[in-house]
């Protein structure tokens, strides 16, 4: 399933890249904004940035401005985000209240920078002094404001809040650019420099039933971690997103993941619940994936279970790792990306990565046996049985069990 995100650069006075603004795009590669609820638009940007494309690929270490609605500002989503990656851009229609300012102060304490989008001073609002104390950057729209309106804001900031950086947005002409420089603006964004670039990625379609089952488990006062891990393992998309989240959020770690249970413990139940709710909300308005994706996901799950069963029979105590090897062995086909590119974005153990890549002799042998059985390549199976202690009868029994297990998941 193809997904799209807009990325427009923001430059400093030396015309060096300062940041990107990430923009919701659902009009494909036509660079169009299709009308959508603001909360859903921001959630799409966050999910596509974190899970589908990845911040490293999108920004390569450059901070990203992301629009936040009042509802999302008041949420606890920031505890799962990385302050070094994100500049919190407060949308122009967010009401300026004492409650908002208190929340922005909390977000600032977490290390995030605050930007005000499409800002202009209004005479009926009397909380600007408190608001500006929490503000790092103010974006001014050069297309929709007059020189007089801009001058009023510029003079107030110079006198009372010199710490605030002015960003000229929608700079369409060279005249706009030089006007902004002369007025003291230090950051610039607009078509004069570059229109938003469309970044395309692929995403594994989600299983909504699985989200609801995980949410139900998380509602228990003391959720069973083993049961949670088992439910998440039922869904390739959810397993992949969990690993991507750990690798790109504030939970990023040098530890390598060997099981879904370990990933849950590392992320924590609070953050897991938060992101599963967000993913479920986002997926509720989307269409189901194609038949090809459905079949690839079923094959991935069946292969995962078969690898686990073979590993158990062969006496390997780390059979949960074999499950992940099987699950992600088709990830390149699902995402339509080179396997090596995907694996570098996941915090999997070196052994799992080597097994999927085909370079880990012991673990790759079991994966290859599962693949050979799918292809009914009995000659290959006989060769592999020399290194994997399992009879043909047992192998066929486990293949039947894996198929039944996959069918019973009731994929939708």
List pLDDT tens digits, range 356-381: 998 887 889 999 999 999 988 999 99
Residue 5's pLDDT band (cuts 50, 70, 90):
confident
Which two tokens mark 24?
């919701």
In a domain, residue 63? The reply is yes
- Better-predicted residue by pLDDT, 286 or 101: 101
Beta bridge partners of 244: none
Which residues are CB-contacts of 56 (< 8 A; sequence separation ≥ 6)? 248, 345
pLDDT digits (tens, 9 = 90+) for 266-285: 888 888 888 887 777 666 55
One domain, residues 251 and 374: no
Q: What is the pLDDT of residue 248?
A: 67
Q: What is the largest CA-CA distance in the chain?
A: 84
Instruction: Quote the mean pLDDT of the chain.
Output: 85
d(CA 63, CA 338): 26
Q: What is the pLDDT of residue 313?
A: 92
Picking from 258, 283, 308, the residue at the C-terminal end of a domain is 283
Q: What is the dihedral of CA 223, 225, 229, 232, to 10 degrees?
A: 20
Which two tokens mark 147?
């020189």
Q: What is the pLDDT of residue 284?
A: 57
One domain, residues 195 and 275: no
One domain, residues 247 and 169: no
Residue 86's pLDDT band (cuts 50, 70, 90):
very high
pLDDT digits (tens, 9 = 90+) for 181-218: 999 999 999 988 877 777 777 666 666 667 767 887 88
Enumerate the H helices of 138-207 as residue ranges.
147-160, 174-182
Enumerate the H helices of 288-360 as residue ranges.
291-313, 319-327, 331-335, 339-343, 350-357
Q: What is the pLDDT of residue 229?
A: 93
How many domains does the chain contain in total? 3
Residue 61 Cα distances to 85, 107, 212, angstroms:
7, 21, 34
Q: What is the pLDDT of residue 36?
A: 60
Burial class of residue 174 (count of CB atoms within 10 Å of its CB; 0-12, 13-18, 19+): exposed
Residue 132's pLDDT band (cuts 50, 70, 90):
very high
Grouping H, G, I as helix, E, B as strand and the rest as coil, residue 394 is helix
Which residues are CB-contacts of 289 (< 8 A; sequence separation ≥ 6)? 1, 204, 205
Question: Strands 113-116 and 165-169, how do they pair?
Answer: unpaired
Terminal Cα-to-Cα distance of the chain (whole angstroms): 15
Which two tokens mark 302?
């069946």
One domain, residues 22 and 168: yes
In a domain, residue 161? The reply is yes
Grouping H, G, I as helix, E, B as strand and the rest as coil, residue 227 is helix
Picking from 267, 283, 299, the residue at the C-terminal end of a domain is 283
Query: Among 18, 54, 6, which Cα is nearest to 335's?
Result: 54
Give percent of the chain above pLDDT 90: 43
One domain, residues 256 and 372: no
One domain, residues 245 and 121: no
Range in 24-38, 137-151, 267-281, 346-360 with the lowest mean pLDDT: 24-38
Q: What is the pLDDT of residue 88?
A: 97
Which two tokens mark 226?
């083993």
d(CA 230, CA 238): 12
One domain, residues 108 and 232: no
One domain, residues 165 and 240: no
In a domain, residue 412? The reply is no
Burial 359-370 (b: 16+ CB within 10 A, else e): ebeebbbbbbbb
In a domain, residue 30? The reply is yes
Which two tokens mark 42?
């921001």
Query: At which residue do the structure tokens 């700079």 appear?
Result: 171
Q: What is the pLDDT of residue 45?
A: 85
Beta bridge partners of 249: none
- Is residue 95's pLDDT more than 50? yes
Q: What average pLDDT does this structure show over 383-401?
A: 92
- Is residue 389's pLDDT more than 90? no
CATH of the domain at 146: 3.20.20.450
Query: At which residue do the structure tokens 């609002």 appear?
Result: 125
Q: Is the dihedral of CA 187, 193, 196, 201 positive or negative?
A: negative
| pTM exceeds 0.85 for this model | no
Instruction: Give the distance from CA 368 to its chain's centroid.
Output: 31
DSSP 59: H
Picking from 264, 283, 302, the residue at the C-terminal end of a domain is 283
d(CA 172, CA 181): 14
One domain, residues 11 and 108: yes
Q: What backbone phi and psi angles, to 5 degrees, belong to 115?
A: -120, 140
One domain, residues 180 and 209: no
Burial class of residue 340 (count of CB atoms within 10 Å of its CB; 0-12, 13-18, 19+): exposed
Q: What backbone phi and psi angles, to 5 degrees, belong to 198?
A: -90, 120
One domain, residues 178 and 77: yes
Inter-residue contact 303 to 333 (CB < 8 Å): no
Q: What average pLDDT does this structure show over 10-16?
A: 91
Q: What is the span of the domain harbouring residue 246?
A: 203-283
d(CA 390, CA 396): 10
One domain, residues 127 and 184: yes
d(CA 214, CA 22): 30
Q: What is the pLDDT of residue 73?
A: 95
- Is residue 262's pLDDT more than 80? yes
pLDDT digits (tens, 9 = 90+) for 42-57: 888 887 777 667 777 7
Which residues are CB-contacts of 80 (< 8 A; sequence separation ≥ 6)? 245, 249, 250, 251, 271, 274, 275
């Amino acid at each position: 399933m193809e997904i799209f995100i807009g990325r427009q650069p923001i430059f400093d006075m030396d015309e060096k890249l300062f940041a990107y603004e990430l923009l919701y795009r659902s009009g494909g590669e036509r660079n169009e904004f299709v009308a959508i609820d603001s909360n859903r638009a921001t959630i799409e940007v966050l999910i596509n940035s974190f899970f589908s494309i990845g911040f490293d690929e999108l920004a390569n270490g450059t901070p990203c401005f992301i629009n936040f609605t009042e509802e999302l500002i008041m949420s606890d989503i920031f505890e799962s985000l990385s302050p070094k990656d994100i500049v919190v851009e407060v949308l122009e229609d967010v009401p300026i209240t004492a409650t908002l300012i208190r929340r922005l102060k909390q977000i600032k304490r977490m290390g995030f920078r605050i930007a005000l989008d499409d800002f202009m001073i209004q005479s009926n609002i009397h909380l600007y002094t408190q608001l500006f104390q929490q503000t790092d950057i103010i974006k001014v729209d050069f297309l929709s404001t007059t020189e007089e309106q801009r001058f009023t804001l510029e003079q107030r900031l110079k006198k009372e809040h010199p710490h605030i950086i002015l960003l000229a947005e929608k700079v369409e002409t060279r005249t706009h650019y030089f006007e902004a420089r002369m007025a003291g603006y230090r950051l610039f964004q607009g078509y004069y420099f570059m229109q938003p670039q469309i970044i395309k990625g692929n995403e594994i379609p989600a299983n909504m039933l699985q989200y609801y089952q995980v949410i139900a488990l998380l509602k228990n006062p003391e959720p069973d971690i083993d049961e949670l891990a088992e439910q998440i393992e039922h869904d390739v998309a959810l397993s992949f997103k969990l690993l991507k989240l750990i690798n790109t959020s504030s939970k990023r770690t040098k530890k390598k993941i060997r099981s879904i249970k370990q990933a849950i413990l590392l992320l924590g139940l609070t953050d897991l619940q938060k992101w599963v709710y967000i993913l479920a909300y986002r997926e509720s308005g989307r269409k189901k994936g194609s038949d090809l994706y459905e079949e690839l996901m079923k094959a991935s799950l069946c292969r995962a279970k078969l690898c686990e069963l073979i590993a158990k029979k062969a006496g390997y105590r780390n059979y949960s790792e074999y499950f992940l090897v099987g699950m992600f062995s088709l990830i390149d086909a699902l995402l339509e990306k080179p396997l090596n590119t995907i694996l570098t974005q996941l915090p999997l153990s070196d052994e799992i990565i080597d097994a999927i890549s085909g370079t880990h002799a012991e673990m790759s042998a079991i994966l290859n046996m599962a693949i050979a059985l799918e292809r009914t390549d009995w000659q290959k199976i006989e060769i592999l049985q020399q290194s994997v202690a399992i009879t043909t009868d047992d192998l066929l029994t486990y293949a039947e069990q894996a198929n039944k297990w996959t069918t019973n998941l009731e994929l939708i």
